[in-house]
Amino acid sequence: MNKIIAIDGPSGAGKSTIAQGLASRLGYEYLDTGAFYRAAALKLHQAGLAQNSRDEQIGDVLKDTRFEFTATGELYLDAVSVSTAIRTPEIGSMASIFSARKVVRNYLINIIRACAHGKDVVTEGRDTTTVIFPQAWRKFYITASTDVRIRRRFKQLRDYQIDTDLHEATTDIVDRDERDSERELAPLAKAVDAIVIDTSNMSIEEALQEILRML
Ligand code: DC
């Protein structure tokens, strides 16, 4: 049986870094589900669609889109690498808006599951533990205080060479928390069987070590 380790939690808690670190230490593939929502938002935006577009319009664009996620964590949208283009706060906020649409979720969930099929993977993103992979072998809910998450997001944006300031990082985290937690479909929530790791006072390496001990 292939093994899936699913990592859920709010923005900026350290999910990506922890998931990538775990995947490389365990020799598993890394699957970043948020990247699919970001890439879909980029494509829908490029196609001129917005929050109020009709389901059929959104579905038609998605049906014509090819998503490929490589084992090294690169995402290709219609054969073009978008790994950096999808990291801007604008795309993050569009992803959060479009991901609240059923037509988008239903479409991406199948693509994401197919990417994990038959493989050992460490996957991360909202609802990976509750909806996408409810049967995951291990589930973790990584969280941290809002202040710590804002500082981490700021650093992450800078690392991607994205020109930003603390105010923008704050809006990115706070607005997204609100939208992702309050939406009707697959809101940010802790699975009952997920182990909570609060990384506010831990380095990411310490969190990683703690998770490795629990496997
Ligand atoms: O994890 P991230 O910041 O890359 O995610 C971008 C947005 O995509 C986030 O606001 C919520 C959405 N998302 C989702 O709805 N379900 C997932 N499994 C992953 C991300």
Residue extents of the structural domains in the chain = 4-214
Using one digit for the tens of pLDDT, what is the confidence trace for 3-23? 999 999 998 899 999 999 999
Q: Provide CATH code, domain 4-214.
A: 3.40.50.300
% of the chain surpassing 70 pLDDT:
100
pLDDT of residue 73: 82
pLDDT of residue 126: 86
Average pLDDT, the chain: 93
Pick the residue whose CA is nearest to atom 1 on ligand 1: 34
SS (H, E, C) the chain: CCCEEEEECCCCCCHHHHHHHHHHHHCCEEEEHHHHHHHHHHHHHHCCCCCCCCHHHHHHHHHCCCEEECCCCCEEECCEECCCHHHCHHHHHHHHHHCCCHHHHHHHHHHHHHHHCCCCEEEECCCHHHHHCCCCCEEEEEECCHHHHHHHHHHHHHHCCCCCCHHHHHHHHHHHHHHHHHCCCCCCCCCCCCEEEECCCCCHHHHHHHHHHHC
Compute φ and ψ for 32, nearest 5 degrees: -95, 100
Q: What is the mean pLDDT of residues 63-92?
A: 92
- Sequence-distant (≥ 6) Cβ neighbours of residue 40 within 8 angstroms: 62, 65, 67, 95, 98, 104, 107, 108
Pick the residue whose CA is nearest to atom 12 on ligand 1: 96
Using one digit for the tens of pLDDT, what is the confidence trace for 173-200? 988 888 888 888 877 889 999 999 999 9
Distance CA 59, CA 61 (A): 6
pLDDT of residue 4: 98
Does the pLDDT value for residue 60 go beyond 90? Answer: yes
- CA 206 to each of CA 13, 22, 158, 211: distance values in angstroms, whole numbers, following the listed order: 13, 12, 23, 9
Distance CA 148, CA 71 (A): 29
To test the ligand 1 pocket, which listed residue (32, 99, 109) has its Cβ within 8 A of the most ligand atoms?
99
Pocket of ligand 1 (CB under 6 A): 11, 33-34, 37-38, 92, 95-96, 99, 125-128, 176, 180
Pick the residue whose CA is nearest to atom 14 on ligand 1: 126
- The label of the residue with tokens 């978008």 reads 82
Give which of 23, 37, 24 is closest to 67, Cα–Cα: 37
